[in-house]
Chain A
Amino acid sequence: MLELLTDPTVITVSLGALMLGLTSGALGTFAVLRRQSLLGDAMSHAALPGVVIGYLVAGGRSLPFMLLGALTTGLAAALLSVALSRRRGVKSESALGVALGTGFALGVVLLSYVQRQPGAGSAGLEQFLFGQAAATLRSDLITIGVLGAAALLVVALLFRPLKLVIFDPHFARANGYRVQLYEAVSTGLLAIAIVVGLELVGVVLMSALVVAPAAAARQWTGSLTGMVWVAGGIGAGSALLGALLSAAVPGMATGPTVVLVASLVVAVSLLVAPRRGVPVDGA
């Protein structure tokens, strides 16, 4: 057991999982309160083509390039779904479904392109489907850490306007806040919450790690600040436990393991926690 705790791979995986879980959990609070869970699902599937494009541009496995690509195509999918949902008769769920399906299909096509290349091929790309904790490199920690820290800093600096825009957009607008700008900021934060975990959790299930911690936290606290902290903690704990379990047991893919752990936390919270659908008071 002690050996395990000093193993360099285990330390790298643990640090990566803790940082991404904290970031995704905390940022997920805003997405859940803004009812953007399904947008997160669409963005994370649509991140796949971006991951492959980043791989192609960098000429190999480079996490900063791949996550930048993921961020770009994930946000492009969000824009596509907004543009589609403004067409007459197209409801928001339909628009999100088109963005999800088309984005993922493009990713699958690009993935097959890289796989058909001679040489190293797609080494390290397949893991972005279901995630693979054990493949985390020490240099990846810097990418995950910088991305997460930047996003959490934005939350800290813009906490008040973000809160106002979530809970009372009319009041915010009347008081001169640029509501659309802050809505865009919070959608951007959702995109970061997703891409930060793609390497460990994968595109297929990453949105669940954004939604689950916030949904669990919501059962324990009614304040936005409390929710951000509790969700961050639950996210970090779930990611850590799931990543270590999957690294230790053959046949357990990291993404599904992490998401199942987080889902169990949600189930327990729903059954045990005292608060039931009390409106968040915004304290």
Chain B
Amino acid sequence: MVAAIQTVQALLDSPSFAILATGVLTGASAALLGTFLVVRGQAMLSDAISHGVVFGVAVTFLLTGNATGPLQLLGAAGAGLLTVALTEWLARSGKVKRDAATGLVFPALFAAGILLLGLFARDAHVDVHTVLLGEIGFVWLDRVQVFGLLVPRSLLVVFVAFVLNALYVALFYKELTAAAFDPVLAELQGLRPRMATGGLLALTSVTAVAALDAVGVVLFVAFAITPAVVGRLASQRLPVMLTVALIVAAAAALLGYPLAVVTDLSIGGCMALLTAAPLLVLMPLTGARRRRA
């Protein structure tokens, strides 16, 4: 038992393991939820949510004086949901179209968050550059004590997010599928598509916050959407799509890290870029439809 704990701790002490594991779990979490967003045709909600959570990060930091912790995570995730709710409200008001509503709400909240961080948190743990690009190369530096183990904080957070996402998808698979493909039928069958959707968006917000330290706001979007689109091109069946998306996201993280080390380039950037590599093969194979006149 002691030997097993020592082995796990030795693994957790390795910076390479921390970086790889954080990358794989971030990618897998994002790809899992992203697949449902892509099937629903609402992929850009991940973009809106990940930008919106920055506002929550800034506000909870100013209120609590601390950037990390469960309360901070929930507050930031709340801002992600607020972004979706405000966008929906604006689109339904009929004063602007849905695309413009999206393009108005999340930039405003993101801009406010960045300004708050720039003005009041300049020397703190959260800086504007990290929020945008992440610092996956340094995730092993900040560690917390859990069950007698010293675990990198980012790794712990994305691990919890991944477990939550996997549980949610496993438990509500039928509801999520029904809500994604045919919300009207789902409603008639009593599958409560709106609850399934609410949970999906809440978990997307939590995951976006969890991924912030590692890959930042924008690369999260790459992980949420690109593997799912690769899955969509590979198959029309949801279980296959999910499997392909998970494999693509995990492989991109596993290969992206050594690639970045060898070439001395951005780790997060290489991981995110590799999620698109399968498109080079899949796009020529899947012919374009003729444009409808």
Contact = CB atoms under 8 A, between A and B. Distances in A.
Interface in A89-121: 89-98, 100-102, 104-109, 111-113, 116
B269 A253 contact: no
Interface in A12-61: 32, 35-38, 40-41, 45
A36 B100 CA distance: 8
Given A105-B273, A215-B96, A98 B44 contact: no
Given A94-B225, A109-B270, A252 B94 contact: no
A87 B283 contact: yes
A107 B273 CA distance: 10
Given A41-B103, A87-B286, A207-B107, A101 B226 contact: yes
Contacts of B93: 270, 277
A102 B279 CA distance: 11
Interface in B74-132: 90, 93-97, 99-100, 102-104, 107-108, 110-112, 114-115, 118-119, 122, 128, 132
Given A93-B41, A211-B100, A108 B225 contact: no
Interface stretch (A132-140, A147-155, A221-229, A256-264): A256-264
A97 B225 CA distance: 6
Interface residues of A, number: 62
B114 A108 contact: no
B218 interface: yes
Interface stretch (B5-13, B185-193, B228-236): B228-236
Nearest to B42: A93
A219 B93 CA distance: 12
B273 A102 contact: yes
Interface string A230-257: 0000000000000000000101110111
Interface string B223-249: 111101100110010000000000000
B119 A102 contact: no
B68 interface: no
A94 B119 contact: no
Given A108-B269, A112-B269, A87 B289 contact: yes
B43 A87 contact: no
B268 interface: yes
B47 A41 contact: yes
Contacts of B275: 101-102, 105
Contact of A252 (B118, B221, B225): B118
Nearest to B289: A86
Most B CB contacts (10 A, CB to CB) among A36, A93, A101 go to A101
B110 to A, nearest CB: 7
B219 A105 contact: yes
B233 A101 contact: no
A114 B106 CA distance: 30
A75 interface: no
A97 B43 contact: yes
A275 B150 CA distance: 59
How would you classify the secondary structure of chain B's contact residues: helix, strand, loop or mixed? Answer: helix
Given A94-B225, A101-B226, A106-B273, A36 B99 contact: yes
B229 A84 contact: yes
Contacts of B43: 91, 93-94, 96-97
A140 B257 CA distance: 38
A83 interface: yes
Contacts of A97: 38, 43-44, 46-47, 221, 224-226, 229
B108 A86 contact: no
B266 interface: yes
Contacts of B266: 108-109, 111-112
A83 B47 CA distance: 21
Contacts of A90: 229, 232-233
Contacts of B96: 32, 215, 218, 270
A100 B51 CA distance: 14
A148 B76 CA distance: 39
A88 interface: yes
Given A32-B100, A89-B233, A215-B104, 19 more contacts: A36-B99, A37-B99, A88-B286, A90-B233, A94-B232, A96-B43, A97-B44, A97-B229, A101-B218, A105-B222, A106-B273, A108-B269, A204-B218, A205-B111, A212-B107, A255-B111, A260-B112, A263-B107, A263-B108
Interface of A: 32, 35-38, 40-41, 45, 83-84, 86-98, 100-102, 104-109, 111-113, 116, 129-130, 204-205, 207-208, 211-212, 214-215, 218-219, 249, 251-253, 255-257, 259-260, 263, 266, 270, 276-277
5 contacts: A111-B269, A204-B132, A205-B111, A211-B107, A266-B104
Which 8 pairs show the lowest CB-CB distances between chains A and B? Answer: A101-B222, A208-B107, A97-B225, A37-B103, A108-B269, A112-B266, A263-B108, A105-B272
Interface of B: 38, 41-44, 46-47, 90, 93-97, 99-100, 102-104, 107-108, 110-112, 114-115, 118-119, 122, 128, 132-133, 218-219, 221-226, 228-229, 232-233, 236, 264-266, 268-270, 272-273, 275-276, 279, 283, 286, 288-289, 291
